[in-house]
Amino acid sequence: MVIKKQEEVAKNIRKMSKIIILASGTGSNANKIIQHFENNNVEISLIATNNKNAGVITIANENKIPTFFINRENFESDFLENLKNINPDLIVLAGFLWKIPVKIINTFNNKIINIHPSLLPKFGGKGMYGHFVHESVYNSKEKESGITIHYVNENYDEGQIIKQFKVDISSNDTPIDIESKVRKLEIEYFAKTIEEILKNK
Ligand code: GRF
C-alpha cells in the first residue's frame, strides 16, 4: 500500500511541468494558456514582459502569477538567472517582440517556442509583427493565412516549425478580418499545441 502511494507521487512529479511566458502586448494568448492549464499539472511559473503597459501584467496579477520586467540590461543577466533557477520545461513567446539573446537560446536549447501570425516562412522576419503581417498578407492577395508555432533560434521566425494551422481568406476580407480569423486560430490551437509539446518531452 505504502509502495503504491510512493509510485503515484513519483508519477505526478514526472508529469509536473513548468512554463514561463514572455509577452509584450494585450496578453490574450497568455490568458488562454493560463485558463487551459488551470486544472492541469502545469504551472505558469513566471510571466515576463518588456512593456510596463502590457495588458499581460494585469492578467498575471489577476492570476497571482509572478512577473518580471525585462530591460536591455537585465535580459542576459538577472533574467537568465531567474530562468535557470526556475528551470522551465518550456519558455513560451506569446507576442514578445524582442529578439531572444543567443545566450538564452543556447541555455534552453529546443525549449523556447514562439507563435507567429502567418504561415511561415511567408511574412516573417524583423518588423513582421501584428498588423504589418496581416496587411502584407492582404497586399499579396493570399488565399490563406494562419499561425505557425515554431522553436526559436537566433534568427527572427526561422526556427524549426512545430505546427501550422490555416484559414481561408476570401476576396472581400480586409486586413482586420484576416487578423480576426488568425486570432481565432491562436486562441483555439496555441495552448493545445503547448500541451502536446509538454506531453512529448
Ligand atoms: C499575436 O497575434 C501573436 O501571434 C503575435 O503577437 C500577438 C500577441 O497578441 N506573435 P496577444 O498579446 O496575445 O493578444
Amino acid 39: pLDDT = 84
% the chain with pLDDT above 70:
93
CA 69, CA 76: separation in Å to the nearest integer? 13
Amino acid 2: pLDDT = 44
| Segment 149-154 mean pLDDT | 96
**Residue type, position 114, single letter:** N
For residue 179, pLDDT beyond 60:
yes
- Find cell 476576396 and name the residue: 171
- Find cell 539573446 and name the residue: 101
Amino acid 35: pLDDT = 96
CA 180, CA 165: separation in Å to the nearest integer? 14
Q: Which of 116, 131, 134, 150 is an active site residue? A: 116
* Ligand 1 pocket, CB under 6 A: 23, 25-30, 94-95, 115-117, 186
| Segment 147-154 mean pLDDT | 96
The DSSP secondary-structure symbol of 36 reads: H
198 or 13, higher pLDDT: 198
| Segment 106-110 mean pLDDT | 94
| Segment 122-147 mean pLDDT | 96
